Amino acid sequence: MRVTLTSLLLAAGLSLPGAAGWAADPCADHVPQPRPQNASRDIVGQEMDVLQEQGHMLFAVYEDYPPYSWEKGGKPHGVDVEIARLIAEDLGVEARFNFVAAGENLDADLRNNIWRGPIVGGRVANVMMRVPYDSAFKCRVEQVVFTGQYATESIAIAYDAASYPDEKPLPAYFRFDTVAVENDSISDFYLSALAGGQLSGQIRRFSTMQEAMAALRAGETKAAMGPLAELEHGLSEGLEVHQPPLPGFAVGRWTLGVAVNFRYRPLSYAVDDAIRYGIQDGRIPAIYAAYGLSYQPPEW
């Protein structure tokens, strides 16, 4: 379960059938923290110098999270890994990786990996990949710069083409047909609440989206619902994917970016520039294509 993404989307105002009372702006009553006085005079710009001198930088990426980031044979793989390498190359250094487990929420992940560090052992990373961007959420974590928006992710449905020869499945079909989801994901929440809970009996929950797609490939379910890239990564012969309208689902798409410690603004600017250049010259779309994924540009 990727609690980080789910918790952020819920905080951002995920609309589920039957849910009411979401705040239009979760930060409307937020009181900004006191700004540190003269605390950064000696370190503003230093991080870039240190990175150039040491010749490498550390990226935090989520562990066991294909097609985004995972290790195989002791080597890092995935879309986020390759984008991190692109960033490091543009900065003239080597990319190194810290594979981290998802915490209980996004605040914890940012605290442990970007601005404070874990309670026991480990170290903070220079950049954390795959951080969902939300303009309201960012005011709550003032120790972090949310930048480098590199893609959009969205919810889709993968399905067995033989089971739907005439038309592609819609969420309402899952009142009768089985559908696989990642447990406690936004797809799980959405389908569980849809039509007053009438779909609950047909939902099959799995620990990861990889397991959900494996169930679809094995014929245990007729469909699977989740992020488009994860569905595409798990497709096999006879399976297709589409993105139908999702009634009552306000956050079916979200922008992905990176996080950098707020004290290192020059680094955040350099990372943002590298990502923008990578989008403009086609290198980032090419990374997605190399993994067999559809590239959805960020919605700036």
- We report the CATH number of the domain holding residue 92 as 3.40.190.10
Quick one: average pLDDT of 279-294?
A: 98
pLDDT grade for 28, boundaries at 50, 70 and 90? low
Residues 233 and 267 in one domain: no
The reply to whether 25 falls in a domain is no
Residues 286 and 142 in one domain: yes
Give the rounded percent of residues in the chain with a pLDDT score beyond 70: 83
The reply to whether 268 falls in a domain is yes
The reply to whether 298 falls in a domain is no
Q: Are strands 223-227 and 203-206 parallel, antiparallel or unpaired?
A: unpaired
Residues 220 and 264 in one domain: no
Quote the DSSP letter at residue 79: H
| pLDDT value at residue 120 | 65
Report whether the peptide linkage leading into residue 285 is cis, meaning its omega lies within 30 degrees of zero: no
Q: What is the 3-state secondary structure (H, E, C) of 221-283?
A: CCEEEEEHHHHHHCCCCCEEEECCCCCCCCCCEEEEEEEEECCCHHHHHHHHHHHHHHHHCCH
Expressed as residue numbers, the domain containing 181 is 154-242
Contact predicate 3/235, CB 8 Å: no
pTM of the model: 0.87
The reply to whether 211 falls in a domain is yes
Which of 242, 262, 281 is the last residue in one of the domains? 242
pLDDT grade for 134, boundaries at 50, 70 and 90? confident
Residues 89 and 141 in one domain: yes
Nearest to 224 by CA among 188, 187, 264, 180: 180
Residues 106 and 210 in one domain: no
The reply to whether 26 falls in a domain is no
The reply to whether 300 falls in a domain is no
Residues 96 and 190 in one domain: no
| pLDDT value at residue 44 | 44
**Range scoring the smallest mean pLDDT among 4-18, 52-66, 242-256:** 4-18
| pLDDT value at residue 96 | 96
The answer, yes or no, to whether residue 121 has pLDDT greater than 50, is yes
Residues 203 and 131 in one domain: no
Residues 116 and 237 in one domain: no
Residues 160 and 144 in one domain: no
Task: Tell me the per-residue pLDDT of 34-71, one tens digit each, with 9 for 90 and over.
Answer: 554 444 444 444 578 889 899 999 999 999 999 999 99
pLDDT grade for 137, boundaries at 50, 70 and 90? confident
Residues 138 and 214 in one domain: no
Instruction: HSE, CB side, 13 Å, CA atoms: give it for residue 267.
Output: 30
Arithmetic mean of pLDDT over the chain: 87
Domain count, the chain: 2
The rounded distance, in Å, linking the Cα atoms of 25 and 232 is 33
| pLDDT value at residue 268 | 95
The reply to whether 146 falls in a domain is yes
| pLDDT value at residue 290 | 98
| pLDDT value at residue 261 | 93
| pLDDT value at residue 100 | 94
**Range scoring the smallest mean pLDDT among 40-44, 76-80, 107-111, 158-162:** 40-44
Residues 271 and 141 in one domain: yes
The reply to whether 27 falls in a domain is no
Return the sign of the alpha-carbon dihedral for residues 267, 271, 276, 282: positive
Residues 124 and 11 in one domain: yes
